[in-house]
């Protein structure tokens, strides 16, 4: 599972980077997006970006709503059916039987309501007993947001597989540099990677060649071979 401390922290690019690294390691990879919002029918969404960057073409989107809102709100306003937690877990289990690695990208932050009965990525991760990667911002505010997210995971009995900085600037300021040390100290979870700012603008060849280098090598190898 790939979640974020909020929206626009780099979940899609981190998901693509993990997919590209796994593909480079010779694994078969698929990516699932339970609910995509803010994208009209026929328009490219997050999974199109994952495919463009990583080269992974096996992607599954379970629901799509046109307004850029939380999925449950977007579903109600559109009159379209809400996705159910069972829809997500059933889809992931089916993919898991076919692929070496299944990545599930959430929407917004960890506790965003994804669909019917207000389920969140916590419910999906718990049902699947899946580890969760948390994507964080680099700058001011990230200590609080990241600790809150990881505390929510811990309270649910879920393992955080690591924190990844979704967009690391070319010239980090003082707060950003300090956060690299402070994030593990306040959360108890290692920062296992950082994606350079602007990586989402790379073409697939450059992105694929660089992606594995954005993660701690020992962590990446253990994560990709955990199965």
The residue whose two tokens read 């850029």 is 68
46 is in an annotated binding site: yes
Instruction: Confirm or deny that 92 is annotated as ligand binding.
Output: no
Backbone φ and ψ of 78, nearest 5°: -85, -20
Residue 15 has pLDDT above 90, yes or no: yes
- The pTM of this model reads 0.96
Distances (CA, A) of 175 to 142, 181, 204: 10, 10, 31
Tally of CB atoms within 10 A around 128 = 16
- 102: burial class by Cβ within 10 Å (0-12, 13-18, 19+)? buried
- CA contacts within 13 A on the Cβ side of 142: 29
Strand partners, 150: none
The pLDDT tens digits for 166-209 are: 999 999 999 999 999 999 999 999 999 999 999 999 999 999 99
Between CA 208 and CA 50 the distance in angstroms is: 11
Q: Establish how many alpha carbons lie within 13 A of residue 209's alpha carbon, considering only the half-sphere containing its beta carbon.
A: 5
Is 107 flagged in the annotation as binding? Answer: yes
What confidence tens digit (pLDDT) does each residue in 48-99 have? 999 999 999 999 999 999 999 999 999 999 999 999 999 999 999 999 999 9
Report residue 226's pLDDT band, with 50, 70 and 90 as the boundaries.
Answer: confident
**Was 38 annotated as part of a binding site?**
no
Catalytic positions are 33
d(CA 117, CA 174): 43
Query: What is the strand order of the sheet 191-196 is part of?
Result: 59-61, 29-33, 101-109, 2-4, 132-136, 160-168, 191-196
Is 13 labelled a binding residue?
yes
Q: Would the annotation count 141 as a binding residue? A: no
Is the distance from CB of 133 to CB of 162 less than 8 angstroms? yes
Put residue 102 in one of left, alpha, beta given phi > 0 → left and psi -120 to 50 → alpha.
Answer: beta
> What is the CATH number that goes with domain 2-224?
3.40.50.300
């Amino acid at each position: 599972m790939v979640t974020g401390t909020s929206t626009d922290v780099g979940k899609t690019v981190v998901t693509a980077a993990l997919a590209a690294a796994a593909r480079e390691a010779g694994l078969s990879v698929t990516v699932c997006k339970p609910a995509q919002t803010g994208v009209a029918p026929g328009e490219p969404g997050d999974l199109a970006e994952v495919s463009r960057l990583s080269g992974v073409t096996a992607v599954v989107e379970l629901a799509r709503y046109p307004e850029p809102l939380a999925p449950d709100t977007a579903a109600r306003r559109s009159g379209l059916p809400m996705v159910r937690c069972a829809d997500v877990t059933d889809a992931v289990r089916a993919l898991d039987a076919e692929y070496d690695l299944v990545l599930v990208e959430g929407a917004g932050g960890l506790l965003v309501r994804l669909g019917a009965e207000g389920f969140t990525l916590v419910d999906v991760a718990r049902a699947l007993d899946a580890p969760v990667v948390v994507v964080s911002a680099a700058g001011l505010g990230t200590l609080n947001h990241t600790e809150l997210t990881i505390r929510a995971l811990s309270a649910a009995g879920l393992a955080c597989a690591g924190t990844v900085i979704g967009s690391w600037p070319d010239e980090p300021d003082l707060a950003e540099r300090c956060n690299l040390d402070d994030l593990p100290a306040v959360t108890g979870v290692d920062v296992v990677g950082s994606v350079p700012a602007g990586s989402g603008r790379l073409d697939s060849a450059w992105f694929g060649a660089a992606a594995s280098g954005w993660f701690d090598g020992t962590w990446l190898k253990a994560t990709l071979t955990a199965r």
